[in-house]
Amino acid sequence: MKRLLFLAIVATLAVTAARAQRQTSPETLIRNATVLTITRGTLTNTDVLLRNGKIAAVGKNLNASANARIIDGTGKFVMPGIIDCHSHSMLDTINEGTLAVTSMVRTEDVLNPTDVDLYRELAGGVTTLNLLHGSANPIGGLNTVVKIKYGRPASEFLFPGAMPGIKFALGENVKRSSQPNQPGVTRRYPNTRMGVEEVIRDAFTRARDYKRTWDEYREAVKKDKNVMPPRRDLQLEPLVEILEGRRYVHAHCYIASEILMLINIADEFGFKIKTFQHALEGYKVAKEIAAHGAGASIFADSWAYKIEAYDAIPYNAAIMTRAGVIVSMNSDSDERARRLNIEAAKAMHWGDLTEEQALKLITLNPAIQLGIQERVGSIEVGKDADVAIWNGHPFSVYSRVDTTFVDGVVYFDREQDLARRPELAKERATLEQAEPNKPRPQGQSPQTPRRRPSGHNDDVEYDKP
Amino acid sequence: MISTLLAFLILTQQIGTPTTQQGVTPPRGIFVIRNARIVTVSGPEIENGTVVIRDGKIEAVGTNVSVPAGAQTIDGSGLSVYPGMIDAGTNMGLVEVPQGANGTVDTAEVGDLNPNAKAIIAVNPHSAHIAVTRVEGITNTVTAPTGGLISGQAALINLLGTAPKEMAVVPQVALVINYPRIAGGGGGFGGQQQQPANLSDTLAANERQLEQIRKMLRDAEAYGRAQDAYAKDKSLPRPDHNVVLEPLVPYVRGERPVIFRAEREAEIRGAVKFAEELKLKPIILGGNDAWKVANVLKEKNVPVIITGILSLPIREDDAYDALYENAAKLQAAGVRFCISTGDAGAEVRNLAQYAGMAAAFGLSKADAVKAVTLYPAQIMNVADRLGSVEVGKMANLVVTDGDLLEIRSSIRYLFIDGRPVVLTSRHTELNDAFKNRK
C-alpha cells in the first residue's frame, strides 16, 4: 500500500516537474488586484507584472508582452510569498544528537525535494523556508535556506545569497530532560543550564584560539610560503564564521533566563544572535533582546505543552515588536506552515498589532532574519517574483490561495490542482494493480518509506535509535 | 465603545465579579443586551435586537422586547450576539502540562477497560486552560478520557465554575471507546507512526481487542437484565453490584451515546458495524477519513465530531485540502457533524479557526458557525439547553465586535450559565504584567 503511494508520488512529481519545465521564464500580468506590498502599503486596483523571475512592475494599467499570461485579479489579494523562519520540511533527518556541539553537520546534505508537505506549504502561500537542525545540542548543525521549488532537484531549492546560519539550542531539550537515566550509561553533558553555558563558552574559546591560529598562519605565510597550515577543524570553522559575522545564529530557547544567558555570552565573545527561535518568554526580556539587536521567531499561540512553555502567551509578538525586536511567526511544523497567514493575524487579535506590522511577521521580518530582504519579503520592483494570489484578504479565516509563484514560475495553482485530480485517481487505480503493490504473502506489510512526524519537530527524538 | 466597556466594568463591580481568572463563580442576575445583531443560529439573524438574560436562562430574544426592571444593560450597538461555541472533542481540565509534569495529567487510566473512569471527577476547575479558552468565546467542552480501549465517560461542562459540580452540564454525557487501530495516525504532538510488523498479526490483535470490548458490553447487558429482574422479583438471587459494569448499562441500552475514536476508513466502518451489532448509539470522534465513508454514515445516521481539519492529510497522495474539505463533503452528503479541535486543552481556544478553515474550503459560513454551536449541541443531546440563542436555553452567550470565526474579531462580553464572565486569563495577566516593562 505504502509502496504504491510512493510510486504515485513519484509519478505526481514527474508531472509537476514537466509542468515546471514548460513554464520556465514565463511572463505573468496580474490585473486589478489588491496588492499587499508590505513596504509601501496596500494598493487597490493595481497590476503586478512578473517577468524573468522578477517583479518587473507594480502599478495601474500595466502592459505585458503578447505571450504573457494575464490573470484577472479582481477581488483577489496579492502578497509576497510567506517565509517560514523555522522549518524541518524536506529534511530526511533533523537531530545529530550524539554530541553537545555538532556544528560540523549540515542540513544541506539531507534535503529530500520530494517531500509532499512542500506542496502543501506552497498551497498555503509559502515560498521560502529556513531549514533548521533540531534542538538536541547547545550548538547544533548548519541550516539551509530554500525556495520551495517542488518538483525540481534539491540543488535548485538553495536560496542564492542567503546568509549561512546555524542552530543553537538552550534549556530542556539540550539537557536531554526527556531522556531517562539508563543503568551503566553516562548521561551526555550538559545536564543543567550551567552546563549549557559552559559548553557554548568552551566551544567559542576553542574557536577563538583556532581563528587566531589561522590568522597567524595567514600572516606568516605571506613571509614564508613554506609555513605549514593548521589542521582544518570542521566543528570550529562555522563558529569562526559566527565570530566574524559571516554566519547567523538561530537559537532555540524558551525561558527568559536562558535568553539572557546567551546574550551575555555572545556579548562577551563579540558576536550577535540573529534570532531567538520560539523565545516563548521573550516578552519578559524584550528590551534586552532589542538591545542586543537580535530578532525573535516565534509561535503565534502554542503554550503549556511542557513546563517551559507554561508562561508562553500570544501577546509575545506584540510586546516584542513594540520593544523594537524584529519578530517573525514560524511554524516548526509542516502542518502549521500551511496557515502562517492566520498565525500572523493572531498578533492583531492578541496584542493589537497593525495590519502592516502583522503582515511583516511572515514576510519582510523573516527575510531580514535570513539576510534575504533584498530579494524577497515585499512586493517591490526588482525583487524575486515569489508571490501568492489569495481569493480574499490573507488575514481572513475564509481565504485561501489560488496561485503561488516562485521566481515567476507557478508551483501551485488551485485550478490546475483540481483539474488534475481525476487523472491522478486513475493513475492510482492503475498503480494499485501493479505487481509490487499486490498484498504480500503471510500478511506481511509492505516496506514503507519513513515519514517524519508533523508536530513540533524540534522536540521529536525519532533520530535516536 | 469605551463607554460600553466602562459600563461593563461598573456593572461587573456592582455584582462583585472577581477580577482575576481564578475565583469563585460570579452570581446570576438580570442582564439585557440591546441594539445588537443577534445570530440566533437556529433561526434568522435579528438586527437591532435585544436579548434578556434572567437567572441563568435566555428569557427573551427579539426586536420587540421590553427591558425588565432592575436589569443591567449592555449597549450592543455594532456588536453581535452569538451562542457560545462548543468543542465536543477535548480533554479540557484533565491535563495541565502534558510533557514533563505527569502529576498534572489525568487523561488515561491504567488498563484497557475503564468504563467507570469519569472525566467529571478529575476536571480541574482552576486549570489555566479554562479561562484561556473561554475568553475566546468557547463556553462549553466535552472533556473525555483517552486511555486503553474503553477509556471512560466524558463530561459536558461549562467553562466556568469553582467545582466540577458547578461546571457539569451533563456529568456523564457519553462513553468513550478507542476503536482498535490498524496503524498509528502519525503526526500529532511528537507522535510517531507505528508500522505493524505483520498486518495479519495486527488485524488478529485488533479482533482480540474488539472481542474484549464486546464481551464487557455483553456482560453489562446481562448485568442490567439481572438487576432489573431482581428489582421486580426479590425472590431471585440478588446479583452483586459491579462498579465496572454498572455505568455501562445506559450505554448498552442505547440511552446514551458512545463516542468511538476512529480516523481511518476501515476504523470508521468497523466502528459503525460494531455499534450496529451491539445496538449502541455511536458518534465518531476524529473522522479524518469520514468523507470517504459518507454514504455509510448517512445511511446509518452516525454523526461525526471532526477533529482533523488542520491536520496534514493522512496519505501522501491525498489532495492537499482533503481534510480542510472534510466538513463540506459531509455536509453535502447529509451526514451530521460538528467541528472540534480535538485538542487536550491549550489550543481549544482556536476552535473558530478550525471552523473558518472548513468555510474557506466549501462549507457555508452559516454552517461553519453551526458546526461549533448548534451541531455539537445536537450531537451531544443538549440542544434543548445549548447551541443557539433561543428563549429558555442556558444563557451561554458571546458578544463580539465582528464575525465570530474571524481571527481579528474580539470578544467583548461573555456569559456562561447566565453569569457575566470577566475576560481575563493567565495570558492577559502575564501580558498586563510585562507589556509596559521599560
**Mean pLDDT for chain B overall:** 92
| pLDDT band at residue B16 using 50, 70 and 90 as cut-offs | very low
Average pLDDT, chain A: 91
Inter-chain touch B320–A119, beta carbons under 8 Å: yes
Residue A451: what pLDDT? Answer: 56
What distance in Å separates residue A348's CA from the closest CA in chain B?
A: 6
pLDDT for A443 equals: 60
Which residue, B314, B365, B313, B377, is CA-closest to B340?
A: B377
Q: Confidence band (pLDDT; 50, 70, 90) for A395? A: very high
Residue A3 predicted with pLDDT over 90: no
Of B96, B310, B316, the CB nearest to A335: B310
- φ/ψ region of B168 (left if φ > 0, alpha if ψ in -120 to 50, else beta) reads beta
Q: Using omega within 30 degrees of 0 as the cis cutoff, is the peptide bond preceding B115 cis?
A: no
CA B319 to chain centre: 28
Minimal C-alpha gap between A225 and chain B (Å): 55
Q: Is B407's CB within 8 Å of A395's CB?
A: yes
Interface test with A, best of B194, B307, B408 (most A CBs within 10 A): B408
Residue-wise pLDDT for A81-106, tens only, equals 999 999 999 999 999 999 999 999 99
Test A397 with B311 for CB contact under 8 angstroms. no
Backbone phi and psi for residue A289, each to the nearest 5 degrees, phi listed first: -65, -45
Q: Does B360 touch chain A (CB under 8 A)?
A: yes
B201 touches chain A (CB under 8 A): yes
Band the pLDDT of A186: cuts 50, 70, 90.
confident
Three state DSSP letters for B79-113? CEEEECEEEEEECCCCECCCECCHHHECCCCCCCE
Domain regions of chain A by residue span = 82-376
DSSP string for residues in B102-159: GGGB-S--SSSB-TT-BHHHH--TT-HHHHHHHTTTEEEEEE----SSEEEEEEEEES
ipTM for this model:
0.93
Contacts of A390 (CB under 8 A, 6+ apart): A76, A77, A78, A79, A125, A341, A399, A400, A401, A402
| pLDDT attached to residue B25 | 84
- Chain-chain contact of A302 with B346 (C-beta, under 8 angstroms): yes
Q: What is the pLDDT of residues B299-336, one digit of tens each?
A: 999 999 999 999 999 999 999 999 999 999 999 999 99
pLDDT at residue B202, rounded to an integer = 83
Q: What is the mean pLDDT of residues A441-461?
A: 54
Distances (CA, A) of A264 to A135, A268, A292, A293, B29: 20, 6, 9, 13, 55
Quick one: pLDDT at residue B12?
44
Nearest Cβ partner for A123 among B190, B197, B320 = B320
Q: Sort out which chain A residues have CB atoms less than 8 A from B99's CB and list them.
A: 178, 305-307, 459
Contacts of B100 in chain A (CB under 8 A): 172, 177-178, 306-308
In this prediction the pTM is: 0.92
Check pLDDT > 70 for residue A8: no
- Residue B277 in this model has a pLDDT that exceeds 50: yes
Residue of A nearest to B432 (CA): A315
Helix or strand or coil: residue A425?
Answer: helix
- Tell me, yes or no, if B316 comes closer than 8 A to chain A by beta carbon: yes
Count of A-B CB contacts under 8 Å: 170
Is B430 close to A307, i.e. CB distance below 8 A? Answer: no
Residue A462 has pLDDT above 50, yes or no: no
pLDDT digits (tens, 9 = 90+) for B411-432: 999 999 999 999 999 999 999 9
- pLDDT for position A461: 44
B199 vs A contacts (CB less than 8 Å): 443-445
Q: Give the integer Cα–Cα distance in Å for A269 and A240.
A: 11
Higher pLDDT, A350 or A18: A350
Specify the pLDDT at position B1: 40
Q: Strand B282-286 relative to strand B258-262: parallel, antiparallel, unpaired?
A: parallel
* Sign of the Cα pseudo-torsion (B116, B117, B119, B122, in order): positive
Chain centroid, CA B243 distance in Å: 26
Mean pLDDT, residues A314-331 taken together: 98
Segment A161-175 mean pLDDT: 96
Nearest to A462 among B192, B317, B407 (CB): B192
Instruction: Quick: pLDDT tens for B338-387.
Output: 999 999 999 999 999 999 999 999 999 999 999 999 999 999 999 999 99
Domain B1-83+387-438 is found in CATH 2.30.40.10: yes
Q: Do B317 and A350 touch (CB under 8 A)?
A: no
Per-residue pLDDT tens for B29-75? 999 999 999 999 999 999 999 999 999 999 999 999 999 999 999 99
Give the best residue of B317, B369, B436 to mutate against chain A (max A CB count within 10 A): B317
In this predicted structure, the answer to whether residue A168 has a pLDDT above a threshold of 80 is yes
Measured between beta carbons, the chain A residues lying within 8 angstroms of B407 are 342, 345-346, 348-349, 395, 397
pLDDT class for A434, splitting at 50, 70, 90?
A: confident
The CA distance from A43 to the nearest CA of chain B, in Å, is 21
Q: Does B352 touch chain A (CB under 8 A)?
A: yes
| pLDDT (average), residues A351-374 | 98
What is the reported pLDDT for B203?
86
How many residues belong to chain A?
465
**Chain A contact for B362 (CB, 8 A cutoff):** no
In this prediction, residues A399-424 reach a mean pLDDT of 98
> How far does chain A reach from its first CA to its final CA, in angstroms?
26
β-bridge partners, B72: B31
Q: Which residues of chain A make contact with B188, given a CB cutoff of 8 A?
A: 453-455
* B342 vs B351: CA distance, rounded Å: 9
Residues B429 and B132: beta-carbon distance below 8 Å? no
Mutate to test the interface with B, among A114, A115, A116, A313 (most CBs of B within 10 A): A313
CB contact under 8 A, A303 and B311: no
Q: What percentage of chain A carries pLDDT values higher than 70?
A: 89
pLDDT tens readout for residues B218-238? 999 999 999 999 999 999 999
Residues of chain B with CATH 3.20.20.140: 85-386
Candidates B90, B434, B438, partner chain A, best to mutate (most A CBs within 10 A):
B434
Amino acid at A341: N
Share of chain A above pLDDT 90, in %: 84
Beta carbons of B187 and A342 less than 8 Å apart? no
The yes-or-no verdict on residue A20 having pLDDT over 60 is: no
Q: How long, in residues, is chain B?
A: 438
- What residues 26-85 of chain B have any CB closer than 8 A to a CB of chain A? none
Which residue among A178, A311, A397 sits closest to B407, beta carbon to beta carbon?
Answer: A397
**Are B258 and B281 a contacting pair, CB within 8 Å?**
yes
CB contact under 8 A, B187 and A335: yes
3-state secondary structure of B425: coil
Contact B359 A454 (CB under 8 A): no
- φ/ψ (deg, to 5) at A287: -70, -35
Mean pLDDT on A205-210: 98
Residues of B (233-292) whose Cβ lies below 8 Å from A: none
Q: Kindly indicate the confidence band of residue B183, based on its pLDDT and cuts at 50, 70 and 90.
A: low
Could you tell me where in chain B the CATH 2.30.40.10 domains are found?
A: 1-83+387-438
Residues of chain B contacting A339 with CB distance shorter than 8 Å:
310, 353, 357
Per-residue model confidence (pLDDT) at position A453: 53
Confidence grade of residue A16 (pLDDT, cut at 50, 70, 90): low
Contact B100 A304 (CB under 8 A): no
| CATH 3.30.70.2860 corresponds to the domain B85-386 | no
Residue type, A401: V
Q: Which of A397, A399, A426 to mutate to test the interface with B (most CBs of B within 10 A)?
A: A397
Those residues whose C-beta lies under 8 Å from the C-beta of residue A152, and which sit 6 or more positions away, are A17, A20, A113
At A196, list the grid cell: 549549557
**Per the CB < 8 Å rule, is B189 touching A424?**
no
- Residues of A with Cβ-Cβ distance to B317 under 8 angstroms: 5, 8-9, 12, 116, 424, 428
Quick check: B116 pLDDT over 60? yes
Outline where DSSP puts E strands in A153-273: 165-169, 248-253
pLDDT in the model for residue B195: 52
Least confident of A75-84, A351-360, B28-37, B175-184: B175-184
Q: What residues in B contact A351, CB-CB < 8 Å? A: 431
Question: Pick from B7, B65, B59: which is nearest to B36 by CA?
Answer: B65
Chain position carrying cell 445516521? B301
Residue B19's pLDDT is what?
A: 45
B198: chain A residues, CB-CB within 8 Å: 442-445
Among B residues 96-115, those touching chain A with beta carbons less than 8 Å apart: 96-101
Asked whether the predicted pLDDT for residue A132 surpasses 70, the reply is yes
Q: Which CATH architecture has domain A82-376?
A: Alpha-Beta Barrel (3.20)
